[in-house]
């Protein structure tokens, strides 16, 4: 009996929600790390006497680390397991955040921000593949979209810290980073009890361990619901056969005959969303200050903008099952483009903030779609690597966006910056509608075995451990 079919027939219940909470809290701290830099930048500029270009480096430091963290975590997640990567990524993030809070010069602060970004990137790349491998096919889009929604709690927490902690004292920017460190210790303790993904275990030939994880999970679901489990679908596809691979073989497969279009589409979607996202959120407090709003008020306005993320994420998670991930992503990209265009034309600070709230709603909603979509289109043996590489490519956008905006905002002005964002988002809409595949209601094995993600004999001849 297929292990994956046994997982797909389970009703969503308390064991699934426990995984959602533990994984989601990791995304909360990732979101907090990505957002807190926007509130540190004015203080860091004054403390270290930074110029605009150096301040742009601060904005790009964590995304730069995120790129390498996601790339490494994805590959290691497929080689040594999802759980180990999830644990060690949190350790790296926590230690680097604490040292950054104690930094005595700009160079130390910048380097620690890079390392913290590596930890956050590794965490971000591994959680969605891990949880998607436990969730039944009929609720996977909602579940992983909801998981992504935990990012919004981190951004709101960062905005609260930026509003009440950073301005409270000269060392407020240091205490803000300490506050991002402390909860990680508790989360590490909770994660000790997480099981390894049974799909990963089966993909590397550890079938007895996979069977034990699935049987234990079934027992917990049965105890939680108080009912017998549904019957297994006799027509469900079997789990994928184990595949040995190295990094070069992984890249060749992703860009080979069967996968290149999915890979290119997914990478471009990630780039578009992440470029726009970081270009907007990293600089919005500073841009508001430049529009004549004092620092404290700009942080308050930013809090309203960040709060709009919450309904953005969770509304998109709901639509993931109703419209399919592909159309949810496209719809929210269209909304983002419209809001960015509106923001580029707004002159009054209140209207800028309202447009920012709308942009925040739609732009974050796209992440609920893309986080659900990306793990679905790559086979189990390469799922974490595929997600990690897609996320890493997106981080090129997050690295370049703060630098481009920081360098050219004086030349382009407020209108030019967000006009550019609108153009990038329109490109993303066209790409999604034309080339993304439909995944709602399909098992992971069905998606990847449908001629788009299955490994072929031609692919396999490229070498077992190349």
- Residue 451 CA to residue 446 CA, distance in Å, equals 9
Residues contacting residue 336 through CB under 8 Å, at least 6 positions apart: 276, 359, 362, 363, 366, 425
Q: Determine the pLDDT at residue 461.
A: 46
The 8-class DSSP code of residue 168 comes to G
The pLDDT assigned to 414 comes to: 64
Higher pLDDT, 179 or 339: 339
Other C-beta atoms closer than 10 Å to the C-beta of 333 total 30
- For the chain, what is the mean pLDDT? 82
Inform me whether the pLDDT recorded for 456 exceeds 60: no
* Cβ-count burial 169-196 (b if 16+ within 10 Å, e if not): eeebbbebbebbbeebeebbeebeebbb
**pLDDT of 338 strictly over 80:** yes
Fold of 3-228+242-460: Growth Hormone; Chain: A; (1.20.1250)
Please report, rounded to a whole number, the percentage of residues in the chain having pLDDT higher than 90.
27
The interaxial angle of helices 295-307 and 309-323, nearest 10 deg, is 20
**Does the structure show a pLDDT above 90 at 333?**
yes
pLDDT over 70, % of the chain: 84
Dihedral angle computed from the Cα positions of residues 319, 320, 321 and 325, in that order, rounded to the nearest 10 degrees:
130
pLDDT at res. 42: 73
Domain ranges for the chain: 3-228+242-460
The whole-angstrom separation of Cα 220 and Cα 210 is 16
Distance CA 396, CA 402 (A): 11
Please state the pTM of the whole predicted model. 0.84
CB-based burial of residue 11 (10 Å sphere; 0-12 exposed, 13-18 middle, 19+ buried)? middle
> Which of the four pLDDT bands, split at 50, 70 and 90, describes residue 140?
very high
CA atoms within 13 A on the CB side of 141: 28
CA atoms within 13 A on the CB side of 346: 22
- How much is the pLDDT for 388? 92
Give the C-alpha separation, 453 to 212, whole Å.
27
**Which residues, other chains included, contact 68 with Cβ-Cβ below 8 Å and sequence gap of 6+?**
118, 121, 392
Is the pLDDT at 462 greater than 50, yes or no? no
- Whether the CB-CB separation of 399 and 121 falls below 8 Å is answered with no
pLDDT band at 52 (very low <50, low <70, confident <90, very high): low
- pLDDT at residue 143, as a whole number: 93
Dihedral angle at the C-alpha atoms of 310, 269, 131, 179, nearest 10 degrees? -50
User: To the nearest 10°, the Cα dihedral for 153, 45, 184, 389?
Assistant: 80
The arithmetic mean of pLDDT across residues 407-431, rounded, is: 77
Residue 289: per-residue pLDDT: 66
Per-residue pLDDT, 458: 42
| Residues in the chain, overall count | 466
What number is the average pLDDT over the span 251-257?
A: 91
d(CA 322, CA 423): 28
The arithmetic mean of pLDDT across residues 117-140, rounded, is 89
Cα–Cα distance between 277 and 363 in angstroms, integer? 7
By C-alpha distance, which of 150, 116, 147 is closest to 130?
Answer: 147
Q: Render 320-332 in DSSP notation, one character per residue.
A: HHHH-HHHHHHHH
HSE, CB side, 13 Å, CA atoms: give it for residue 12: 15
- Residue pLDDT, tens place only, 82-101: 988 888 888 888 888 888 88
Q: What is the mean pLDDT of residues 362-374?
A: 93
Give residue 464's pLDDT: 42
Q: How many helices (H) and strands (E) does the chain have?
A: 19, 0
Of 453, 442, 150, 451, nearest to 321 (Cα)?
A: 442
pLDDT tens, residue by residue, 424-443:
889 999 999 999 889 888 88
Alpha-carbon distance of 342 to 127, in angstroms, equals: 35
* Contact present, 355 and 308 (Cβ < 8 Å): no
Model confidence band, residue 309 (pLDDT cutoffs 50, 70, 90): confident
- pLDDT for residue 293: 65
3 state DSSP class of 138: coil
* Helices (H), ranges, 165-291: 172-191, 198-203, 207-225, 247-254, 260-281, 284-290
Q: Collect all residues with Cβ–Cβ distance below 8 Å to 108 and sequence separation of at least 6.
A: 99, 100
Rg (CA), the chain: 22
* pLDDT of residue 105 exceeding 90: no
């Amino acid at each position: 009996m297929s292990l994956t079919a046994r997982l797909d027939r389970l009703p969503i219940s308390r064991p699934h929600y426990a995984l959602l909470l533990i994984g989601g809290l990791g995304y909360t701290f990732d979101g907090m790390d990505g957002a807190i830099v926007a509130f540190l930048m004015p203080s860091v500029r004054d403390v270290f006497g930074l110029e605009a270009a150096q301040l742009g480096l601060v904005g790009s430091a964590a995304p730069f680390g995120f790129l390498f963290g996601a790339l490494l975590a994805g590959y290691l997640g497929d080689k040594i397991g999802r759980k180990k990567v999830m644990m060690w990524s949190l350790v790296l993030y926590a230690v680097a955040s604490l040292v950054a809070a104690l930094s005595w010069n700009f160079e130390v602060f910048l380097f620690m921000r890079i390392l913290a970004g590596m930890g956050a990137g590794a965490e971000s790349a591994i959680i969605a593949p891990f949880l998607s491998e436990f969730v039944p096919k009929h609720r996977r889009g909602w579940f992983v979209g909801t998981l992504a929604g935990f990012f919004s709690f981190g951004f709101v927490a960062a905005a609260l810290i930026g509003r009440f902690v950073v301005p409270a004292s000269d060392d407020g920017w240091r205490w803000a980073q300490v506050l991002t460190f402390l909860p990680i210790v508790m989360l590490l303790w909770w994660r000790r009890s997480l099981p390894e993904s049974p799909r990963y275990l089966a993909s590397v030939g550890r079938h007895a361990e996979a069977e034990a994880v699935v049987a234990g999970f079934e027992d917990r679901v049965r105890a939680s619901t108080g009912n017998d489990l549904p019957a297994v679908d006799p027509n469900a596809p079997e789990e994928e056969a184990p595949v040995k691979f190295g990094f070069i073989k992984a890249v060749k497969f992703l860009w080979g005959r069967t996968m290149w279009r999915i890979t290119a589409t997914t990478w471009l979607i990630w780039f578009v969303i992440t470029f726009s996202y970081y270009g907007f959120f990293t600089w919005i407090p500073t841009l508001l200050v430049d529009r004549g709003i004092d620092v404290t008020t700009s942080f308050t306005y930013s809090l309203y903008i960040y709060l709009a993320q919450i309904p953005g994420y969770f509304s998109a998670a709901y639509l993931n099952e109703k419209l399919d991930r592909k159309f949810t992503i496209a719809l929210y990209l269209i909304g983002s483009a419209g809001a960015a265009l509106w923001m580029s034309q707004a002159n009054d600070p209140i209207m800028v903030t309202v447009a920012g709230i709308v942009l925040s709603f739609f732009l974050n909603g796209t992440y609920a779609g893309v986080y659900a979509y990306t793990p679905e289109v790559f086979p189990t043996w390469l799922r974490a690597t595929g997600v990690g590489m897609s996320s890493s490519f997106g981080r090129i956008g997050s690295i370049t966006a703060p630098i481009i905006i920081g360098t050219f905002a004086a030349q382009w002005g407020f209108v030019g910056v967000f006009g550019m964002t609108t153009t990038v988002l329109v490109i993303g809409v066209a790409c999604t509608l034309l080339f993304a595949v439909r995944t709602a209601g399909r098992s992971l094995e069905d998606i990847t075995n449908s001629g788009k993600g299955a490994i072929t004999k031609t692919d396999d001849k490229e070498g077992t451990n190349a």
